[in-house]
A and B are shown apart, each in its own frame.
Chain A
Amino acid sequence: MLKKLRPTIGIIDSGIGGISILNALKAKFKGGNYIYFADNLNMPYGNKSAKFLKNRVNNLINYLKTNYLTDYIFIACNTASSVLKLADADVIKMQFDTNYTYLVTPLTKQTLQNINVVADKTLAKLIEKHIFNTKALNRIIKYHVNLHKLNAMDCFVLGCTHYELVYDLFKKYCPNSKIIKNSDFILKDFNMNFETNETSILFLQSKSSKSYIQKLKSLVED
């Protein structure tokens, strides 16, 4: 009997946000072969046009499929997920549920209908920039929580993977709200069968920068 192959999972995001998905996948499955594509050249996706994003993400999907033989691809970006119409079963994108209120980027807001959303222009970019500066991050999240009056809500969903990276800070400033990570929904239903506990992660970026790769690597949880 031949052994089952270790699946290759591609993760696409504009920057560091998708790391939250990578960490969640790593926690759920013991091993795996991950290709993380940070499109840092086009960071942030939140203020790009829908046409541009559709084209770009489709190109990246093809690139990962042909060059890295991916078995699954996660569109680890709520903005990109909201503009894409996909037919391929092996490409998994973020979903939105009309029962919840979402904190999202402006482009995601434009594409969502019948969903309660709070849009923020700059937060994703600020998190990307100050991810390792705890003091600054505290100030930023506190400001945005007050701006959008998030702490007055009973429940809201973090509709951008960048926000998920600072889940703990949202929790800190909204102690009485139920905060949900949008990636929890898709990961709950996602399963793969393989027999290995080896993990490999390859980081790719569209704008070459050694320090950026280091930044991505240091966000990966053991």
Chain B
Amino acid sequence: MCGIYGYVGKLDAYNEVFNGLKLLQYRGYDSCGIAYLSNNELKIVKTVGTIDNLPKIKIKCNLSFGHTRWATNGAVNYDNTHPHISFDKRFTVVHNGIIYNANEIKLALQNKGINFYSNTDTEVIANLLASLNGDVDERIKSLFNHLKGTFALIIENEGALYLVKKFSPLNILKAEDGIYISSDVSSLKTGQLYSLKDYDVIKIKDNQILPLSGEIAFTKYNNCIQNYSLNNFPHFMLKEIYETPTAIENTYNYLKDIDVSPYFKNIKDITLIGCGTAYHSCLIGGEVLKKLNFNIKTELASNFTLFKKINKHHLHIIVSQSGETADCIKAAENIKKFGGKILVITNEAKSSIVKFANHIILTKAQKELAVASTKTYCSQVFAFILIAKKLKNANYTINIKKFKKSLTNYIKNSNIISAAKMLSKLDKTILIGKDIDYLTLLEASLKIREIDYIYTIPIYSGELKHGTLSLIDNQSIVLSLNTDNVANKLSNAINEIESRGGKVIKFEQFMPKKYYKDFSCIYSIIPFQLFSYFIAIEKGYNPDMPKNLAKSVTVE
């Protein structure tokens, strides 16, 4: 995971990297550090926590690079914070990824008498470079022979920066005022962009970009970073829930003119693959596609492995908000290896997963910064429903303006705070529902776990009496969802809970009386998203940056 950002040019390099790293914090915020070249001496500042904990240094420097960390190897502390320096002080490294054979290399280096000051695999890379023999360019190229695993690296040696990429993303951008490097294109300004390919090595020296292996071809890239401000909202999560109607409108406008039927031509079996929230949208997608007589299977990307050739009637749909999810990319590689067809649904048109896709469908939710996915989940679910509708009826349309207005009013008028206050006092809860509501509850449950740190058990209402009911006492609060509000659907389960002193919050009460029934899954998740947000506020947590997590999971 982690984010890396670098800058070489005429602007204040430290400041550029400071601001760049802020945009990458969604990739991890356990700790961060910046290296900058001042009077031909490389200096380093590090801190545990977010970028704002770093000092704002006003200094004239033209080269700087930094790192924001999501801990994989080694605890969250100052020593393990990047950048890491080699024992001979000649190599300084920031790294995104995991080195699987780091322990073996570390032992070999320790046997040579090298001491280590951190528990990271990154310090191993720095010391490995210092202990190898020969020319620096060759040493850096030989990293591919020594290191097993995934890595995107910025390495500094005597004023030159080296960029190395295998699996983890890395991009370089030539702009008028300098050269920018980042893990994520969306954090870059307008200019000429090149996304590094695996096994690329690029050297930046004296403002020149020199490929040491592979060829590089720049393309024009436009971005407007100013959209990422809070815009009077207290948190990005709330802002992004409020942006859901626009995200859906944009996704509709993009999808309405696309004929999706060729993607599904002659397809009998569909496997939907995702992780976390995207997996939950796959579950809903599976449910709606099932009605069109496809054989549906839904798989977690982290648990997905194929062993035999895939027939031509089988389509794999991979959903990843960022398009950088390592588990999804591994799954895509696996499918390609066995000759399968892939349809990717992602929010990032230029992401790593796109190169594996036979077809791409974009969700136009725009950038989402809060770790908990809200508007992107709704856009994914919306895309699935719309695809299913269009497959059934090629001329399917909705009045998107009305739909947007209905959603906007619904979000504005939701009154969920008192329920949130009630649950914020507890450390566990059970969610019950049936059919597609249960799938919505899986996502709702994840939201409450990830940002409120409350243990949640989503369960089919009928299953309650087969074991889980033993958890209910007079302190319990159970959340129920019965979208269609069909009498008796959940009444047995609710009675079982209430007769044992438990309290039930019925979430259908927060839904509007009139809504677009085809899209009920979107209406039903929104109260839960707001609910989890307000619990976090009540508990004093930062909903945008839950502990131990990061937005884009780029490690397996």
Contact = CB atoms under 8 A, between A and B. Distances in A.
Nearest to A62: B145
B114 interface: yes
A66 B112 contact: no
Contact of B88 (A2, A67, A71): A2
Contacts of B105: 67, 69
Given A7-B112, A33-B112, A200-B111, A71 B133 contact: yes
A69 B109 contact: yes
Contacts of A3: 113
A182 interface: no
A66 B111 CA distance: 15
Contacts of A2: 87-88
B111 A8 contact: yes
A69 B114 CA distance: 13
Contacts of A147: none
A67 B111 CA distance: 13
B141 to A, nearest CB: 13
Interface in B106-127: 108-109, 111-114
Contacts of A71: 133
A198 B146 CA distance: 26
A90 B109 CA distance: 18
Interface residues of B, number: 17
B145 A66 contact: yes
Nearest to B113: A6
A5 B146 contact: no
A198 B111 CA distance: 9
Interface string A50-82: 000000000000000011110100000000000
A5 B101 contact: no
Size category of the binding interface on chain A = 10 to 19
Contact of B108 (A8, A90, A198): A8
Given A67-B101, A69-B105, A69-B131, A8 B88 contact: no
A196 interface: yes
A94 to B, nearest CB: 23
A66 B114 CA distance: 17
A188 to B, nearest CB: 24
Given A2-B87, A2-B88, A68 B113 contact: no
Interface string B476-489: 00000000000000
Contacts of B131: 5, 69
B87 A6 contact: no
Contact of B104 (A6, A67, A198): A67
A5 B108 contact: no
A67 B99 CA distance: 13
A26 to B, nearest CB: 15
Interface in B129-175: 131-133, 145-146
Contacts of A198: 113
B526 interface: no
Given A66-B146, A67-B101, 15 more contacts: A2-B88, A5-B112, A5-B114, A6-B113, A8-B112, A33-B111, A33-B112, A66-B145, A67-B105, A69-B112, A69-B146, A90-B133, A198-B113, A200-B111, A202-B111
Q: Name the 5 nearest CB pairs between A and B, nearest first.
A: A6-B113, A33-B111, A5-B112, A69-B108, A68-B108
